[in-house]
Amino acid sequence: MTKDLNKKLVLGILFIFPLLVYLFFASGKNNFAKLPILTERVNELPKGYLGEKIKLKNKITILGYWGGDLKNKKAEALNLNEKIYKRFYQFDDFQFVFFVDTFQIKQVQELKNELVKGVGTDISRWNFLHTTLENMKTHFSSLKTPFLLDESGNTPYVFIIDKDLSLRGRNDDEDSGTLYAFDARSVAQINKKMIDDVKVILAEYRLALKIYNSEREK
């Protein structure tokens, strides 16, 4: 009995302790805490104009709305690609999703070419959902944030959506109080806040998976 208990304790430490240490050093002011849920029941994605069947459920998603404004999105895309995507895209169930206008097919391809230029980034988890402005606005409203889309369906802000269709962010941000999203134009905000928050939510799910697997082995 004692031997079995000791074995379980050792396994628990081996599984959980490294994740707790990782979370402590990775999460900044969010040490050991889950990233707060700011909005529950965000809408699932509509079917895309080109037949895309991209889903938010069971994915950790960086979600954006670029509408018909891709010609002005190169800098934002490169910021997110360099600072967030390249760092985290190899994690299971992690993805980028951006709403774009139905007619932005050529512009999306041009943007993808920019993303892979030079180092040949694997952009298989960059997803573009071609849809109508009405669909963009409907979905955006389900986030329940203080932001607005412009007339083309664009915003520079990107959002973290968890596997259960909840918007994650900060409810004690030192600058804004509640941090619903991250400004993709700002390398400083991405470096200072977004990287930390993505680390926190990924560590949260990894820890939950380790605990689940440990329980199954008992």
Residue 207: pLDDT band (50, 70, 90) is: confident
Q: What is the pTM of this model?
A: 0.83
pLDDT attached to residue 192 = 94
pLDDT attached to residue 31 = 43
Q: Which domains does the chain have, with CATH numbers?
A: 33-186 (3.40.30.10)
Q: What is the pLDDT of residues 170-186, one digit of tens each?
A: 999 898 899 999 999 99
pLDDT attached to residue 197 = 96
Q: What is the pLDDT of residues 56-114, one digit of tens each?
A: 999 999 999 999 989 899 999 999 999 999 999 999 899 999 999 999 999 999 999 99
Asked if residue 85 lies in contact with residue 126, where contact means CB atoms within 8 angstroms, the answer is: yes
